[in-house]
Structure 1
Amino acid sequence: MFAWLSVFMLIAAVVYGVWSKEPAGTTALFMAFALSIMIGFYLVFTARRVDTGAQDNKQADVADDAGELGFFSPHSWQPLTLAFGGAIAFLSIAIGWWLAFFALPFIVLGIFGWVFEYYRGADQNQ
C-alpha cells in the first residue's frame, strides 16, 4: 500500500511542481513521497524477517497462536518524566525560550532513565 502511495505522491509532486511552480507545496509533496517510501521499505524489510503467524493461516486454531509474544515492561515512570520535559519545552515556544533550559534536565533524565531502565551492569545478575 505504501509503495503505491509513494508512486502516487511522486507523480503528484512532479505534476504539481511543474504546473504550479510553487516551492512550498512541491517540497511538501516530495517529503510525503520520502516518508511513504521509508514506511514502505520498513514494512517490506520487517515482513521478510518475520515468519508468518497463525493469524495468517485460515485453517489455524486458537491454540496455534499460544505462547510468548515478547517482553512488555510492567511499569515505567520514565515516559512521564520525558512527557513533562517535552511539555515544558513546547510551552517555551509560547512563553519564552528561557523556559527550555528548565525542560532540558527533565528531557535528559527521562531519556537516560528510559534507555538504561533494565541495565544492571555487566557483572551483576538480574
Structure 2
Amino acid sequence: MQLELTPVYAGKRGMPRTFILNGDQWALEGNILKWDDWLNFAGLHTMYKLTRVRGRYESYLDEGNQTPSVYSLVEREDDPRWRWLYKYGHRLRFVSAVYGNTVYTYPSEKYTYEIYVTTSGFIARVREE
C-alpha cells in the first residue's frame, strides 16, 4: 500500500512524504506526555512527537512471518529528552503519564484521514470534504 503523510503543525502544512508499506493497515507511532487534567483544562495541551510510520498486519502470524516496513519520521530515534521523560516523567509534578502510542486503520482510496492528538493519545478521523 502507499501512504502519503502531510504533517500540519499550528495550521501550517509541511512537506508531504510518501511511504510504501507492507501489511493490511497503516500505523503511525509516537510519544505522548500527558499532563494532569487540571493543567489541560488550564490550556496546557498534551505534548507529542511522531516517530514512525509502518505497515501493520492483522494476523500476529503475518507480523512474524511477513516482510515488515517501518520508516522513521525523526532524525534521531534516541532523543535524550524523551528517553529522560520515559524514565523519570512519573516523578515530575504535574505529569500524569509518559508513554508510546500508536494509531492504525485500513488504507482507503476513498477517504483521507486526519490524525489528532487528544488528552489520551492519537486518534484517526476521516476528513470531511
TM score, norm. by length of structure 2: 0.22
Rg (Cα) greater in structure: 1
TM score, norm. by length of structure 1: 0.22
- Greater share of strand: 2
Higher RCO (CA-CA < 8 Å; seq separation 6+):
2
- Greater share of helix: 1
